[in-house]
Structure 1
Amino acid sequence: MKSLKTYSIPFTGLKLGKHLFEYEIGDEFFSEFEYSLVKKASLQCKVELDKQETMLILNFDITGAVTATCDTCLAEYQQPVDVKEQQIYRFTEEDMGEDDEIITLGKNDHEINITGLIYEYVNVALPFVAYCDNQEGGKQCDEEMLDNLNKLSVNDDEETEKTDPRWEALKKLK
Protein backbone atom coordinates (compact mmCIF):
# COMPACT_ATOMS: atom_id res chain seq x y z
CA MET A 1 0.00 0.00 0.00
CA LYS A 2 3.03 2.29 0.10
CA SER A 3 2.71 2.96 -3.63
CA LEU A 4 -0.80 4.34 -3.02
CA LYS A 5 0.66 7.07 -0.79
CA THR A 6 1.36 9.06 -3.97
CA TYR A 7 -2.40 9.58 -4.33
CA SER A 8 -2.60 11.71 -1.19
CA ILE A 9 -3.05 15.46 -1.59
CA PRO A 10 -1.72 17.61 1.28
CA PHE A 11 -4.04 20.61 1.28
CA THR A 12 -2.91 22.54 4.38
CA GLY A 13 -0.13 24.45 2.62
CA LEU A 14 -2.13 25.32 -0.47
CA LYS A 15 -3.41 28.84 -1.14
CA LEU A 16 -7.08 29.47 -1.83
CA GLY A 17 -7.95 28.83 -5.46
CA LYS A 18 -7.53 26.07 -8.00
CA HIS A 19 -4.68 23.57 -8.08
CA LEU A 20 -4.10 20.80 -10.64
CA PHE A 21 -2.73 17.32 -9.84
CA GLU A 22 -1.97 14.68 -12.48
CA TYR A 23 -1.48 10.95 -11.98
CA GLU A 24 -0.57 7.99 -14.18
CA ILE A 25 -2.68 4.98 -13.22
CA GLY A 26 -1.42 1.60 -14.37
CA ASP A 27 -1.32 -2.06 -13.47
CA GLU A 28 0.50 -1.48 -10.17
CA PHE A 29 -2.35 0.72 -8.90
CA PHE A 30 -4.96 -2.01 -9.36
CA SER A 31 -2.64 -4.77 -8.09
CA GLU A 32 -2.83 -3.13 -4.65
CA PHE A 33 -6.51 -4.09 -4.47
CA GLU A 34 -6.82 -7.80 -3.73
CA TYR A 35 -10.11 -8.52 -5.51
CA SER A 36 -9.94 -5.90 -8.24
CA LEU A 37 -11.82 -6.64 -11.46
CA VAL A 38 -9.31 -4.48 -13.32
CA LYS A 39 -5.85 -6.00 -13.67
CA LYS A 40 -4.34 -3.99 -16.54
CA ALA A 41 -4.90 -0.32 -17.25
CA SER A 42 -3.39 2.75 -18.82
CA LEU A 43 -5.17 5.80 -17.44
CA GLN A 44 -4.53 9.50 -17.00
CA CYS A 45 -6.12 11.08 -13.94
CA LYS A 46 -6.37 14.86 -13.62
CA VAL A 47 -7.66 16.23 -10.35
CA GLU A 48 -8.52 19.90 -10.04
CA LEU A 49 -8.68 20.93 -6.40
CA ASP A 50 -10.55 24.16 -5.72
CA LYS A 51 -9.66 25.25 -2.18
CA GLN A 52 -12.17 27.58 -0.57
CA GLU A 53 -12.61 28.93 2.97
CA THR A 54 -15.00 26.22 4.15
CA MET A 55 -14.59 23.42 1.63
CA LEU A 56 -12.52 21.66 -1.00
CA ILE A 57 -14.03 20.79 -4.36
CA LEU A 58 -12.28 18.05 -6.32
CA ASN A 59 -13.07 17.59 -10.02
CA PHE A 60 -11.84 14.29 -11.45
CA ASP A 61 -11.13 13.68 -15.14
CA ILE A 62 -9.99 10.10 -15.78
CA THR A 63 -9.33 8.97 -19.37
CA GLY A 64 -7.64 6.00 -20.98
CA ALA A 65 -8.34 2.30 -21.34
CA VAL A 66 -8.50 -0.82 -19.20
CA THR A 67 -8.09 -4.39 -20.38
CA ALA A 68 -11.44 -6.15 -20.02
CA THR A 69 -12.59 -9.68 -20.80
CA CYS A 70 -15.48 -10.22 -23.19
CA ASP A 71 -18.34 -12.06 -21.50
CA THR A 72 -19.23 -13.83 -24.74
CA CYS A 73 -15.97 -15.15 -26.17
CA LEU A 74 -13.55 -14.58 -23.22
CA ALA A 75 -11.14 -12.55 -25.38
CA GLU A 76 -9.34 -9.58 -23.87
CA TYR A 77 -10.00 -6.17 -25.38
CA GLN A 78 -9.35 -2.52 -24.56
CA GLN A 79 -12.35 -0.87 -22.85
CA PRO A 80 -12.19 2.93 -23.13
CA VAL A 81 -12.75 4.88 -19.91
CA ASP A 82 -13.83 8.51 -19.69
CA VAL A 83 -14.87 9.61 -16.19
CA LYS A 84 -15.80 13.08 -15.02
CA GLU A 85 -16.79 13.23 -11.35
CA GLN A 86 -16.86 15.73 -8.50
CA GLN A 87 -16.31 15.23 -4.77
CA ILE A 88 -16.82 17.88 -2.08
CA TYR A 89 -14.96 17.97 1.24
CA ARG A 90 -16.27 20.29 3.93
CA PHE A 91 -14.33 21.63 6.92
CA THR A 92 -16.43 21.14 10.06
CA GLU A 93 -16.23 19.68 13.53
CA GLU A 94 -19.92 18.77 13.54
CA ASP A 95 -20.88 15.20 12.80
CA MET A 96 -22.92 15.42 9.61
CA GLY A 97 -23.46 11.66 9.35
CA GLU A 98 -22.74 9.56 6.31
CA ASP A 99 -23.12 11.36 3.01
CA ASP A 100 -21.69 10.27 -0.34
CA GLU A 101 -21.77 13.75 -1.81
CA ILE A 102 -20.04 15.63 1.00
CA ILE A 103 -17.18 14.26 3.10
CA THR A 104 -16.34 16.07 6.33
CA LEU A 105 -12.81 17.02 7.33
CA GLY A 106 -11.82 17.88 10.90
CA LYS A 107 -9.21 20.35 12.10
CA ASN A 108 -6.65 17.54 12.47
CA ASP A 109 -6.94 16.47 8.81
CA HIS A 110 -4.06 17.69 6.66
CA GLU A 111 -4.34 15.60 3.50
CA ILE A 112 -6.87 13.77 1.35
CA ASN A 113 -6.23 10.26 0.05
CA ILE A 114 -8.05 9.93 -3.28
CA THR A 115 -7.05 6.30 -3.96
CA GLY A 116 -10.47 4.88 -3.06
CA LEU A 117 -12.28 7.48 -5.15
CA ILE A 118 -10.19 6.78 -8.25
CA TYR A 119 -10.63 3.02 -7.82
CA GLU A 120 -14.39 3.39 -7.38
CA TYR A 121 -14.85 5.77 -10.31
CA VAL A 122 -12.97 3.48 -12.72
CA ASN A 123 -14.84 0.35 -11.63
CA VAL A 124 -18.22 2.03 -11.86
CA ALA A 125 -17.38 3.31 -15.37
CA LEU A 126 -16.90 -0.22 -16.68
CA PRO A 127 -19.90 -1.84 -18.36
CA PHE A 128 -21.84 -4.39 -16.31
CA VAL A 129 -21.73 -6.85 -19.22
CA ALA A 130 -18.64 -6.55 -21.41
CA TYR A 131 -18.78 -7.33 -25.15
CA CYS A 132 -15.88 -6.85 -27.52
CA ASP A 133 -18.42 -6.47 -30.40
CA ASN A 134 -19.57 -3.13 -28.98
CA GLN A 135 -16.19 -1.48 -29.38
CA GLU A 136 -15.34 1.18 -31.91
CA GLY A 137 -12.79 -0.14 -34.34
CA GLY A 138 -14.89 -3.21 -35.04
CA LYS A 139 -13.17 -5.91 -33.01
CA GLN A 140 -15.38 -8.94 -33.35
CA CYS A 141 -15.83 -11.86 -30.97
CA ASP A 142 -13.57 -14.87 -31.50
CA GLU A 143 -15.52 -17.00 -34.03
CA GLU A 144 -13.70 -20.21 -33.08
CA MET A 145 -14.67 -19.76 -29.43
CA LEU A 146 -18.28 -18.98 -30.35
CA ASP A 147 -18.45 -22.15 -32.49
CA ASN A 148 -17.12 -24.22 -29.59
CA LEU A 149 -19.67 -22.69 -27.23
CA ASN A 150 -22.51 -23.39 -29.67
CA LYS A 151 -21.44 -27.05 -29.94
CA LEU A 152 -21.48 -27.40 -26.17
CA SER A 153 -24.76 -25.57 -25.60
CA VAL A 154 -27.95 -27.54 -24.97
CA ASN A 155 -30.58 -27.13 -27.66
CA ASP A 156 -34.18 -27.00 -26.48
CA ASP A 157 -35.38 -29.09 -29.47
CA GLU A 158 -33.11 -32.01 -28.63
CA GLU A 159 -34.11 -31.87 -25.00
CA THR A 160 -37.84 -32.18 -25.73
CA GLU A 161 -37.25 -35.11 -28.09
CA LYS A 162 -35.34 -37.06 -25.45
CA THR A 163 -38.08 -36.94 -22.81
CA ASP A 164 -38.02 -39.68 -20.24
CA PRO A 165 -40.72 -42.26 -21.13
CA ARG A 166 -41.79 -42.45 -17.48
CA TRP A 167 -43.12 -38.88 -17.77
CA GLU A 168 -45.29 -39.95 -20.70
CA ALA A 169 -46.86 -42.65 -18.54
CA LEU A 170 -47.58 -40.13 -15.79
CA LYS A 171 -49.18 -37.70 -18.26
CA LYS A 172 -51.66 -40.45 -19.27
CA LEU A 173 -52.96 -40.55 -15.66
CA LYS A 174 -54.64 -37.14 -16.06
Structure 2
Amino acid sequence: MKSLKKYSIPFTGLKLGKHQFEYDIQDDFFDEFEYSLVKKATLHCEVELDKQETMLILNFKIDGTIDTTCDRCLSQLPQQVDITEQQIAKFSDELIDEDEEIITLGKNDHEIDVAGLIYEYINVAVPFTSVCDNEGETPYCDKEMLEKLNSFSANGEQSEQTDPRWDALRKMNK
Protein backbone atom coordinates (compact mmCIF):
# COMPACT_ATOMS: atom_id res chain seq x y z
CA MET A 1 0.00 0.00 0.00
CA LYS A 2 3.02 2.29 0.20
CA SER A 3 2.93 2.82 -3.56
CA LEU A 4 -0.61 4.21 -3.23
CA LYS A 5 0.52 6.93 -0.82
CA LYS A 6 1.22 9.27 -3.75
CA TYR A 7 -2.54 9.26 -4.52
CA SER A 8 -3.34 11.08 -1.25
CA ILE A 9 -4.00 14.76 -1.77
CA PRO A 10 -3.35 16.97 1.28
CA PHE A 11 -6.05 19.63 1.04
CA THR A 12 -5.50 21.52 4.32
CA GLY A 13 -2.64 23.64 2.96
CA LEU A 14 -4.37 24.46 -0.30
CA LYS A 15 -5.98 27.83 -0.98
CA LEU A 16 -9.61 28.05 -2.06
CA GLY A 17 -9.96 27.47 -5.80
CA LYS A 18 -8.91 24.92 -8.39
CA HIS A 19 -5.78 22.79 -8.16
CA GLN A 20 -4.44 20.26 -10.70
CA PHE A 21 -2.91 16.85 -9.94
CA GLU A 22 -1.63 14.34 -12.49
CA TYR A 23 -0.87 10.64 -12.18
CA ASP A 24 0.54 8.05 -14.56
CA ILE A 25 -1.12 4.74 -13.79
CA GLN A 26 0.82 1.59 -14.67
CA ASP A 27 0.65 -2.12 -13.82
CA ASP A 28 2.04 -1.63 -10.29
CA PHE A 29 -1.07 0.39 -9.35
CA PHE A 30 -3.33 -2.61 -10.01
CA ASP A 31 -0.97 -5.00 -8.18
CA GLU A 32 -2.07 -3.27 -4.95
CA PHE A 33 -5.65 -4.49 -5.43
CA GLU A 34 -6.11 -8.23 -4.97
CA TYR A 35 -9.11 -8.90 -7.22
CA SER A 36 -8.66 -6.29 -9.92
CA LEU A 37 -10.23 -6.90 -13.33
CA VAL A 38 -7.38 -4.91 -14.84
CA LYS A 39 -3.84 -6.22 -14.47
CA LYS A 40 -2.01 -4.21 -17.13
CA ALA A 41 -2.63 -0.64 -18.22
CA THR A 42 -1.03 2.54 -19.42
CA LEU A 43 -3.22 5.39 -18.26
CA HIS A 44 -2.96 9.08 -17.53
CA CYS A 45 -5.18 10.57 -14.84
CA GLU A 46 -5.82 14.27 -14.29
CA VAL A 47 -7.58 15.32 -11.10
CA GLU A 48 -8.91 18.83 -10.75
CA LEU A 49 -9.61 19.61 -7.11
CA ASP A 50 -11.89 22.60 -6.55
CA LYS A 51 -11.56 23.55 -2.89
CA GLN A 52 -14.51 25.49 -1.49
CA GLU A 53 -15.48 26.54 2.03
CA THR A 54 -17.71 23.55 2.74
CA MET A 55 -16.64 20.95 0.20
CA LEU A 56 -14.14 19.62 -2.30
CA ILE A 57 -15.20 18.92 -5.88
CA LEU A 58 -12.97 16.39 -7.62
CA ASN A 59 -13.13 16.10 -11.41
CA PHE A 60 -11.37 13.05 -12.87
CA LYS A 61 -10.20 12.64 -16.47
CA ILE A 62 -8.62 9.24 -17.15
CA ASP A 63 -7.53 8.13 -20.60
CA GLY A 64 -5.24 5.53 -22.06
CA THR A 65 -5.17 1.79 -22.71
CA ILE A 66 -6.06 -1.19 -20.54
CA ASP A 67 -5.29 -4.79 -21.45
CA THR A 68 -8.26 -7.11 -21.41
CA THR A 69 -8.66 -10.68 -22.59
CA CYS A 70 -10.58 -11.32 -25.81
CA ASP A 71 -13.62 -13.42 -24.98
CA ARG A 72 -13.34 -15.28 -28.27
CA CYS A 73 -9.66 -16.05 -28.88
CA LEU A 74 -8.33 -15.47 -25.32
CA SER A 75 -5.47 -13.22 -26.44
CA GLN A 76 -4.49 -9.95 -24.75
CA LEU A 77 -6.53 -7.15 -26.27
CA PRO A 78 -5.78 -3.44 -25.75
CA GLN A 79 -8.90 -1.37 -25.03
CA GLN A 80 -8.96 2.41 -25.21
CA VAL A 81 -10.69 4.12 -22.29
CA ASP A 82 -11.74 7.73 -21.84
CA ILE A 83 -13.28 8.30 -18.43
CA THR A 84 -14.73 11.52 -17.02
CA GLU A 85 -16.12 11.41 -13.47
CA GLN A 86 -16.89 13.77 -10.61
CA GLN A 87 -16.80 13.18 -6.85
CA ILE A 88 -17.91 15.56 -4.11
CA ALA A 89 -16.37 15.49 -0.63
CA LYS A 90 -18.24 17.48 2.03
CA PHE A 91 -16.79 18.78 5.30
CA SER A 92 -18.92 17.83 8.30
CA ASP A 93 -18.30 17.31 12.03
CA GLU A 94 -21.31 15.06 12.54
CA LEU A 95 -21.57 11.50 11.35
CA ILE A 96 -23.67 11.26 8.23
CA ASP A 97 -24.77 8.00 6.64
CA GLU A 98 -22.36 7.07 3.87
CA ASP A 99 -23.64 8.12 0.51
CA GLU A 100 -22.28 6.79 -2.78
CA GLU A 101 -22.43 10.26 -4.28
CA ILE A 102 -20.83 12.27 -1.47
CA ILE A 103 -17.79 11.51 0.71
CA THR A 104 -17.90 12.98 4.21
CA LEU A 105 -14.67 14.43 5.63
CA GLY A 106 -14.31 15.12 9.36
CA LYS A 107 -12.49 17.97 11.06
CA ASN A 108 -9.46 15.74 11.70
CA ASP A 109 -9.10 14.78 8.03
CA HIS A 110 -6.35 16.64 6.25
CA GLU A 111 -5.99 14.64 3.05
CA ILE A 112 -8.18 12.71 0.63
CA ASP A 113 -7.11 9.41 -0.90
CA VAL A 114 -8.13 9.21 -4.56
CA ALA A 115 -6.53 5.79 -5.31
CA GLY A 116 -9.74 3.91 -4.52
CA LEU A 117 -11.81 6.25 -6.67
CA ILE A 118 -9.42 5.96 -9.62
CA TYR A 119 -9.38 2.16 -9.25
CA GLU A 120 -13.19 2.01 -9.16
CA TYR A 121 -13.65 4.29 -12.19
CA ILE A 122 -11.21 2.22 -14.28
CA ASN A 123 -12.74 -1.14 -13.33
CA VAL A 124 -16.25 0.09 -14.05
CA ALA A 125 -15.06 1.23 -17.50
CA VAL A 126 -13.91 -2.29 -18.44
CA PRO A 127 -16.29 -3.53 -21.15
CA PHE A 128 -18.57 -6.40 -20.16
CA THR A 129 -17.47 -8.34 -23.24
CA SER A 130 -14.23 -7.83 -25.12
CA VAL A 131 -13.85 -9.13 -28.66
CA CYS A 132 -11.16 -8.45 -31.25
CA ASP A 133 -12.25 -6.21 -34.11
CA ASN A 134 -12.17 -7.85 -37.57
CA GLU A 135 -11.82 -11.31 -36.13
CA GLY A 136 -8.52 -12.91 -37.08
CA GLU A 137 -7.15 -9.83 -38.84
CA THR A 138 -5.68 -7.84 -35.95
CA PRO A 139 -2.05 -8.31 -34.86
CA TYR A 140 -3.05 -9.42 -31.35
CA CYS A 141 -5.76 -11.88 -32.42
CA ASP A 142 -4.91 -15.57 -31.84
CA LYS A 143 -5.59 -17.11 -35.27
CA GLU A 144 -4.70 -20.62 -34.10
CA MET A 145 -7.35 -20.45 -31.36
CA LEU A 146 -9.97 -19.14 -33.82
CA GLU A 147 -9.24 -22.03 -36.21
CA LYS A 148 -9.62 -24.49 -33.34
CA LEU A 149 -12.96 -22.93 -32.35
CA ASN A 150 -14.22 -23.07 -35.93
CA SER A 151 -13.25 -26.74 -36.18
CA PHE A 152 -15.39 -27.55 -33.13
CA SER A 153 -18.41 -25.68 -34.41
CA ALA A 154 -20.56 -27.36 -37.05
CA ASN A 155 -19.73 -24.62 -39.58
CA GLY A 156 -22.24 -22.36 -37.88
CA GLU A 157 -25.13 -24.82 -38.43
CA GLN A 158 -27.28 -26.29 -35.68
CA SER A 159 -27.14 -30.02 -35.22
CA GLU A 160 -30.23 -31.81 -36.56
CA GLN A 161 -30.15 -34.34 -33.75
CA THR A 162 -32.52 -33.33 -30.95
CA ASP A 163 -33.36 -34.77 -27.58
CA PRO A 164 -36.37 -37.16 -27.92
CA ARG A 165 -37.79 -35.94 -24.60
CA TRP A 166 -38.22 -32.45 -26.04
CA ASP A 167 -39.80 -33.89 -29.19
CA ALA A 168 -42.41 -35.67 -27.05
CA LEU A 169 -43.20 -32.44 -25.21
CA ARG A 170 -43.52 -30.49 -28.47
CA LYS A 171 -46.08 -33.05 -29.73
CA MET A 172 -48.16 -32.56 -26.57
CA ASN A 173 -48.31 -28.81 -27.17
CA LYS A 174 -49.80 -29.22 -30.67
Is the alpha carbon distance of 1:29 and 1:47 closer, same or farther for their aligned partners in structure 2, counting shifts above 3 Å? Answer: same
Letter in 2 for 1:34: E
Partner of 2:123: 123
Deviations 1:59-100 (A, max 9, x none): 000010011110011111210011000000000112221211
Letter in 2 for 1:157: S
Partner of 1:145: 145
The percentage of aligned residue pairs carrying the same residue is 64
Deviations 1:108-134 (A, max 9, x none): 001001111000000111110111217
Offset at residue 150 of structure 1 (A): 2.6
Q: What TM-score do the two structures reach when normalised by structure 1?
A: 0.85
Letter in 2 for 1:67: D
Offset at residue 156 of structure 1 (A): 4.1
Partner of 2:41: 41
Partner of 1:32: 32
For residues 12-91 of structure 1, what are the structure 2 equivalents within 5 Å?
12-91=12-91
Give the distance between the partners of 1:57 and 1:47, measured in 2 at CA. 10
Partner of 1:110: 110
Q: More deviation in 16-25 or 138-147?
A: 138-147
Give the distance between the partners of 2:132 and 2:110, measured in 1 at CA. 44
Letter in 2 for 1:8: S
Q: Which runs of 5+ in 2 are unaligned?
A: none
Q: More deviation in 90-99 or 55-64?
A: 90-99
Offset at residue 7 of structure 1 (A): 0.4
1:157 aligns with 2:159: yes
Is the alpha carbon distance of 1:114 and 1:78 closer, same or farther for their aligned partners in structure 2, counting shifts above 3 Å? Answer: same
Q: Which runs of 5+ in 1 are unaligned?
A: none
Give the distance between the partners of 2:70 and 2:133, measured in 1 at CA. 9
Is the alpha carbon distance of 1:122 and 1:134 closer, same or farther for their aligned partners in structure 2, counting shifts above 3 Å? Answer: farther
Q: CA RMSD in A?
A: 2.3
Q: What TM-score do the two structures reach when normalised by structure 2?
A: 0.85
